[in-house]
Structure 1
């Protein structure tokens, strides 16, 4: 699907260097989600909003038959190279999380690691996750929480960012248990929910987080680009991000980033 909003999302995630962010900051999250979903040989697995394959590649390395789907072709191209370097064989498919080009019940497991949460229409995306999962199959989601560091990053950037289109919902809501339970409803059973934290030790300098995300993280780059002709507002955002990092920064320079891990079974019928 090509619309101005989808084109904007593709451009945001193609900017910067998300593969570096995934490798430097969150390499443990994909394998953790794969393990939580119990993925193994010969299972048919779909990773929605897969990015560069943080979860899809470790899923494929278990022997599962994996399709990694994402809206942004540039991320898929990078992911395919990374998979080749690790000897992982899987299918890469350009796909909108809100209109997946896959059949009803096609997959034994449908998962997303800090990916589907960025689809603007949460209920539409959730409906698609459920639709393509077979009855009895597993749905697994790992999302940043609203109160955690990345959720607060988006809250801090919001006053500086362009106004979102009507109907677009904040991504970190996927990290709210009540919101996710409402999205999935009675179409799933055996729901397990865990709130956990990722220890991040990548930013030794006080301004390390800000400078790293300004270089590499698409959503942060997009906000700074919108302010490129306004040095005063740019300085305000710099200060706001430094204050955010200081709020979460421990004495040893590390940070704990909170996320919600949800697994559920697609209900029969």
Structure 2
């Protein structure tokens, strides 16, 4: 088997997302929106790619689907298993795995889902091909991503400006929030994409409280801030940039995060 050129990047991702569990709680309403948008039906077989703490997988299972889910980060899968046990849904199959190398046979699922997850896999073409491979004929894919023009997409663009460049051949995650780029990426394997937008809200006492939550619970933000701990001036400047992005989206003690949903049927 050919050596994966992104092994080191994926190891860093596996480690940096380990602290995400508390923040994942706030994605549960979006998970319900995604499952409804995906038109999940009782008895369908569903794969949740980059499941994190399992919020989408558990929501789909509660809708009557037969669910498998995978993630790179074992610490998040431990939380997902606990969440499933609390919900009485211990039949969900949890697997540590990679969106670019899905460990499932061809034509295994009716639906493939991903919420703010597959977008971090470095090669969109490989990820899309894998999603299509494990779908049954006529199956569908549905996912949530962050548009580059809105808050979370802008935050990841800011992180990219202050971080070492991605390895050659890796695509920036916010591109997955551009409908034109998404349609192009899906085009070889799927029919015309359907899009819908939504807004997730994050409770916070101030823009600064929100930024601190991101520093503590969103791996790429945490890693960037930790890397500047020895340079207080640069750290303060970066925090000011974050606060300036957040402030226009802060109203009534809520930070408003706009997202994009995509759905398409396999050719």
TM range (shorter): over 0.9
Q: Structure 2: how far apart are the matches of 1:246 and 1:21?
A: 19
RMSD of aligned C-alpha atoms?
1.5
What's the counterpart of residue 12 of structure 1? 16
2:235 paired with 1:230? no
Unaligned runs of at least 5 residues, structure 2: none
Contact 2:66 2:92 in 1 (8 A): yes
User: Any idea what the Cα deviations from partners look like across 1:89-124, whole Å, max 9, x if unmatched?
Assistant: 300011110111111111010010111011111111
SS of residue in 2 equivalent to 1:67: strand
Moved more, 209-218 or 187-196: 187-196
Which residues of 2 match residues 29-178 of structure 1 at below 5 A? Answer: 29-88=30-89, 89-178=91-180
Secondary structure, counterpart of 1:187 in structure 2: coil
For 2:180 and 2:207, the matched residues in 1 are separated by 35
* Contact 1:69 1:94 (C-alpha < 8 Å) held by counterparts: yes
- Aligned equivalents of 1:135 and 1:159: distance in 2? 41
| Deviation per residue, 1:64-103 (Å, 9 max, x gap) | 1100111111111110011101111300011110111111
Counterpart Cα distance in 2 of 1:105 and 1:30: 24
Per-residue deviation at 1:201?
Answer: 4.4
Distance 2:31 2:71 in 1: 15
CA distance in 2, matches of 1:221, 1:142: 22
1:189 to 191, 194, 199: 191
Following the alignment from structure 1 to structure 2, what is the Cα–Cα distance between the partners of residues 239 and 57? Answer: 37
Is the alpha carbon distance of 1:197 and 1:10 closer, same or farther for their aligned partners in structure 2, counting shifts above 3 Å? same
Query: Do the aligned partners of 2:110 and 2:139 also contact (CA within 8 Å) in 1?
Result: yes
Provide Cα deviations, 1:229-257, integer angstroms capped at 9, x if missing partner. 2222111111111111113223x233321
Inter-partner Cα distance in structure 1 for 2:145 and 2:254: 20
| TM-score (normalised: structure 2) | 0.93
Distance 1:62 1:256, change over 3 A: same
Query: Alpha-carbon deviation of 1:181?
Result: 0.8
Provide Cα deviations, 1:8-35, integer angstroms capped at 9, x if missing partner: 1101111x2x221111x22111111111
CA shift digits 1:175-209 (9 cap, x unpaired): 111111111114222521112222x2411224111
